[in-house]
Chains A and B, each alone.
Chain A
Amino acid sequence: MTTKEIENPLIKFLLHLGDNALIMGHRNSEWCGHGPVLEQDIALTNIALDQIGQARNFYQYAAKLIAEKSGEKLTEDSFAYLRDSWDFKNCLLVELPNGHWGRTILKQFIVSAYKSCLYQALTSNADEQLAGIASKSLKEISYHLRWSSEWVIRLGDGTPESKQKMQDAITSIWPYTNEWTNFTDYELNILGDNHWNIKENWETILKKVFLEAGLSIPTNGYQHSGGKMGNHTEHLGYILTEMQFLQRAYPNAEW
């Protein structure tokens, strides 16, 4: 990919959304064939499939905008396969390793809850195509949220062991939550005043589900950030190495 640093806020925002969906989908897809219950293996694979589908929609739109602006011909795959980690704009949370099933569920719940609020706000965005992708994705995300909420509650309120595992997972994931609602300039440019509702609505969902699950939310502690600006954890490099292997080893081939 030869595009220089893309400065258009809408394109940056689309890549941010696409990257969140792709990397989260990648992590979830690692579970395929290894889930604790066959039905749930299918459910999580289904979610991964939705997320990769969403990433494709955002990337395709970004490619179209870039073609209009600069004439450069890119595809959805240019973004997924031919950028290095500094160009990825996903939040750090989605690149964290899966760990056990409960930790994976917890990541999925936190992200689904956030996305349900964000995409709801985006459905009325002035950019019609973005609004269209958001409302199409929102149907899928409502299911992801319902499914992951149910599992957080089930594991939080299951056995003492499962409760402890979930509480420990919250402690380790929590430092990666604030980043979602610490909005960058490119997000604010697209979201406008809507961003206040997003944070509030998101917190309401989290509190409600954690309360029902009997799990507590840490009240303080350091919060990591940087993903949205291309400063990632060490994990992303390995994800990309694996994901991009064929495209890098055999450049310009059709698959």
Chain B
Amino acid sequence: MGTNFEEQFQQKIDQETKIEPKDWMPQKYRHTLIRQISQHAHSEIVGMLPEGNWITRAPSLKRKSILLAKIQDEAGHGLYLYAAAETLGISRDEMYEQLHEGKAKYSSIFNYPTLTWADIGAIGWLVDGAAIMNQVPLCRSSFGPYARAMVRVCKEESFHQRQGFESLLVLSKGTEEQKRMCQDAINRWWWPCLMMFGPPDDESPNTLQSMQWKIKRFSNDELRQKFVNMIAEQVKVLHMTLPDPDLKWNEEKNQYDFGKINWEEFKQVLQGNGPCNKERMDARRKAWEDGAWVREAANAYAAKKSIAS
């Protein structure tokens, strides 16, 4: 019987029919998705912090409005990703708990600091750019709610990416200090962005199964290469450089060669030793704990009202 279900399931996957929450699915498929979607949701929420860092210091009212709207979008992404994960039988509170206890991960990139205003542009251009590279294929993910959430996320993310690039373009045409700010931000964000695609394919334990289930469509290295090819061209428009002496066009392979990634740094950040891991988690936990009395009051009030009605 179990085999039969599994066969039907794989058949659906092979025929590109979406799996919906009430459909039978292997436990491991369910768990893989919960892990991936909640990790994605957490990344949106934690990702609000490094950008939020500059809201009160944005250099013009226009930039302030753009930044606020962008971070609000990220919160919205978090919201519907949590909702997509909830269809798999886990509550948002449980997911938060996993985050706060350090059991659930979020994207390593948000453990890096935003030191100058140019970092806000760099996050839009590079971090959101890398995220889109990862996420566009997820719009075809085999799990329906995730795929549908990703369609909306991707639309907004590509808008953010253009805004980020435009913001850096202004800096790149500005004063010497602004140009320096711009180059410095690119230098600091470039390598961590390449790490966002995850470990190299031969060290990525979950990739094979995820590709078989069509949760994932391209391998980490494939996506990373596409990203390098794209950014290596775009950076020329800014008249800036990428901090990689080995970056050069390879005619034969029709792609850019690039230098070695420092995977030791990636490992350290994942283990909690990035520059801002502690700050990010402390900020999330504090928001949650400080808000406890508010949530309790809201629940108590709702309960009173439901008794009264």
Chain A residues proximal to chain B, CB less than 8 Å: 22, 26, 29-30, 32-39, 41-42, 45-46, 48-49, 52-53, 55-56, 59, 76-77, 80-81, 100-102, 153-155, 157-159, 161-162, 165, 239, 242-243, 245-247, 250, 253-255
- Bound complex: CA of A157 vs CA of B298, how far in Å? 9
State the total of A-B contacts with C-beta under 8 angstroms. 141
> CB within 8 A of B290: which of A33, A36, A52?
A36
Question: What are some 26 contacts across the A-B interface (CB < 8 A)?
Answer: A22-B61, A29-B68, A32-B52, A32-B71, A33-B48, A34-B290, A36-B287, A37-B294, A45-B68, A45-B72, A52-B64, A52-B68, A77-B61, A80-B61, A100-B290, A102-B294, A154-B298, A155-B297, A158-B301, A159-B300, A246-B57, A246-B59, A254-B170, A254-B174, A255-B60, A255-B171
Partner pick for A38 among B45, B65, B293, B298, CB 8 A cutoff: B45
**Inside 8 A of B232's CB, which chain A residues have their CB?**
none
| Chain A residues positioned under 8 Å from B291 (CB to CB) | 35-37, 101
**Segment at the A interface, from B73-81, B222-230, B255-263:** B73-81
| Contact present for A242 and B56 (CB under 8 Å) | yes
Interface of B is mostly: helix
For this complex, into which size category does the number of interface residues on chain B fall? 35 or more
0/1 interface trace, chain B 276-306, chain A, CB 8 Å (1 if under)? 0000000100111011111111101100100
If over half of A's interface residues share one DSSP class (helix, strand or loop), that class is named, otherwise mixed; here it is helix
> With a CB–CB cut-off of 8 A, which chain A residues contact B64?
29, 52
B57: contacting residue among A42, A101, A242, CB under 8 A: A242
Task: Mark out the residues of chain B between 26 and 77 whose CB falls within 8 Å of any chain A CB in the assembled complex.
Answer: 45, 48-49, 52, 55-65, 68-69, 71-72, 75-76
**CB-defined contacts of B117 to chain A, threshold 8 Å:** 246, 255
New A-B contacts (14) at CB < 8 Å, excluding given A37-B298, A81-B60, A246-B58: A33-B283, A42-B72, A45-B71, A49-B68, A52-B64, A81-B59, A154-B298, A155-B298, A161-B297, A245-B57, A246-B59, A253-B174, A254-B174, A255-B167
Q: Does B177 contact A (CB under 8 A)?
A: yes
Is B178 close to A, CB under 8 A? yes
B175–A253 touching, CB < 8 Å: yes
How distant is A8 from chain B, measured CB to nearest CB, in Å?
A: 22
Whether the Cβ atoms of A38 and B60 lie closer than 8 Å is: no
Is the Cβ of A158 less than 8 Å from the Cβ of B71?
A: no
